[in-house]
Amino acid sequence: MQSRPCWAEVDTRAIEDNFRFLSGLAAPHADLLAIVKANAYGHGLSLCAPAVTRAGARWLGVTSVEEGAATRALSSNAAILVISGVFPGQGAEVIRKALTPVVWEPWHLDELESAAHAAGLGPASLPVHLEIDTGMNRQGVLVDNLPQLLARFTPASPLRLEGVMTHLFAADEADGLATQDQLSQLTAALDQISRAGLTPQWLNVGNSAALLAGKSEDIAALSSRYKMRALIRPGLALYGIVPSYDPAFDAAEPPSLVQARQSLRPALTWKSQVVSVHSVPAGAVVGYNATFVATEPMRLALIAAGYADGLDRQLGNRFGTLVHGQCAPIVGRISMDQAVLDVTDISGVAPGDEVVLLGTQGSETISAFDHAEATGTIPWEVLTRIGVRVPRIEI
Ligand SMILES: *Cc1c(COP(=O)(O)O)cnc(C)c1O
């Protein structure tokens, strides 16, 4: 039985190749943690976690304990970092699924310690990564408040400080000043940690923008000063998309960024099909509230994709899709489950013809950036909003 024709094809070989390319950028100084949160940026966790593991990933990053448990079912060996915290009552699941939580609040430590005691874990047997807030003011402990958290890592504690983490919030800015500030805050934290006699193994810093901008060397240099190993956390680049940078940056792109533009391949193509085609006379209106009026006799194609599939409603009357390798504009308002295309200038369009909403058809491409620019957002949001009812199919 054929299913409703709205699906995303995911090229897992592209993801494997992207991972290998990014590992090459990080090597030999740093390892990668492959970010597979939010259903692998909409690409399908069950396809992508195995793909990056095949390509050699030993660390996977997810947002929650729930995502961590789903990832553990797909990968028995990888270390799985839960980056956005544990919540009350989740400690037991962290232990059952052998997850590595990021912590920054005293109550995170309370939750994990009591779960560890209940599970009969011995000293230093539950690894955690401590996030330092180096200026983003999102999550993490401020350097000034570190002593009270470090005091919790006593020799008798079941917790082990395995990693120190921070998030660089402006690695895409050309002057690098924010990053410099952040790294100096991080250095102050590492000094304190080292004075406290703690010896974490991993320094866990930096996203795609940092890695492609060549920041992994700075991070690795800092790591080796404290006898740690650098861990870099790319997300978007794994899925084949180069984040945008400050225009000043583009003027003198570091070699890693130039190489990335040549090497990374977008992995996802979002498709639908023409359901029916009909002709309308000049003056006919299309869709809710008649926001489109045919100025001439036109041919219209109905497709099985709407805003409930993640096709942003703002794209109505202002975006194109690809049919027969040509641009077919979306006319009228996008409905929840359907949209209408103008195929007047594309000959021979018939029911069953493939429609590309995002990706390449023939020599034309619609990128996640194109979607993002049309709707005032970023590729991360475009990809993660592709709906749950759109099946992800490995190709
Ligand atoms: C999502 C996320 C990343 C990955 O960011 P990209 O810009 O997609 O590479 C890295 N670190 C943290 C903490 C994140 O939340």
252 CA distance to ligand 1 centroid (A)?
24
Handedness of CA 392, 83, 58, 160 (dihedral sign): negative
> Residue 188 in contact with residue 142, Cβ under 8 Å?
no
Tens of pLDDT along 233-258? 999 999 999 999 988 876 788 999 99
Ligand 1 pocket test, pick from 32, 35, 164, 167 with the greatest ligand atom count within 8 Å of Cβ, gives 35
pLDDT given for residue 320 in this prediction: 98
Backbone dihedral region for residue 283 (phi beyond 0: left; psi -120 to 50: alpha; all else: beta)? left
Query: Is residue 392 lining ligand 1, measured as CB closer than 6 Å?
Result: no
pLDDT given for residue 94 in this prediction: 98
41 CA distance to ligand 1 centroid (A)?
10
Query: Is residue 166 lining ligand 1, measured as CB closer than 6 Å?
Result: no
The phi, psi pair for 364, rounded to 5°, reads -105, 145
Query: Is residue 233 lining ligand 1, measured as CB closer than 6 Å?
Result: yes
| Atom from ligand 1 closest to the CA of residue 237 | 9
Query: Is residue 208 lining ligand 1, measured as CB closer than 6 Å?
Result: yes
Tens of pLDDT along 220-237? 999 999 999 999 999 999
| Atom from ligand 1 closest to the CA of residue 233 | 10
- Give the 3-state secondary structure of residue 258: helix
pLDDT given for residue 327 in this prediction: 98
| Atom from ligand 1 closest to the CA of residue 207 | 9
25 CA distance to ligand 1 centroid (A)?
17
Q: What is the DSSP string of 362-373?
A: TTEEE-HHHHHH
Average pLDDT score over residue span 47-69? 98
Average pLDDT score over residue span 198-203? 98
Query: Is residue 60 lining ligand 1, measured as CB closer than 6 Å?
Result: no
63 CA distance to ligand 1 centroid (A)?
10
> Rounded to whole angstroms, how far apart are CA atoms 231 and 241?
20
Assessment of whether the complete model's pTM goes beyond 0.85: yes
The phi, psi pair for 268, rounded to 5°, reads -115, 135
Average pLDDT score over residue span 204-230? 95
- Asked whether residue 2 carries a pLDDT value surpassing 90, the answer given is no
pLDDT given for residue 315 in this prediction: 98
Query: Can you read off the two tokens belonging to residue 101?
Result: 């939580």
179 CA distance to ligand 1 centroid (A)?
15
pLDDT given for residue 251 in this prediction: 73
Nearest CA to ligand 1 atom 4: 235
For 1, what's the count of Cα atoms within 13 Å in the CB-facing half-sphere? 2
Tens of pLDDT along 272-307? 999 999 999 999 999 999 999 999 999 999 999 999
Supply the mean pLDDT for the chain. Answer: 97
pLDDT given for residue 1 in this prediction: 65
Query: Is residue 379 lining ligand 1, measured as CB closer than 6 Å?
Result: no
> Rounded to whole angstroms, how far apart are CA atoms 299 and 389?
29
Tens of pLDDT along 359-384? 999 999 999 999 999 999 999 999 99
Average pLDDT score over residue span 13-23? 98
- Specify which residues 72 forms β-bridges with: none
Nearest CA to ligand 1 atom 1: 235
Tens of pLDDT along 111-143? 999 999 999 999 999 999 999 999 999 999 999
Torsion of CA 102, 379, 358, 263, to 10 degrees: -80
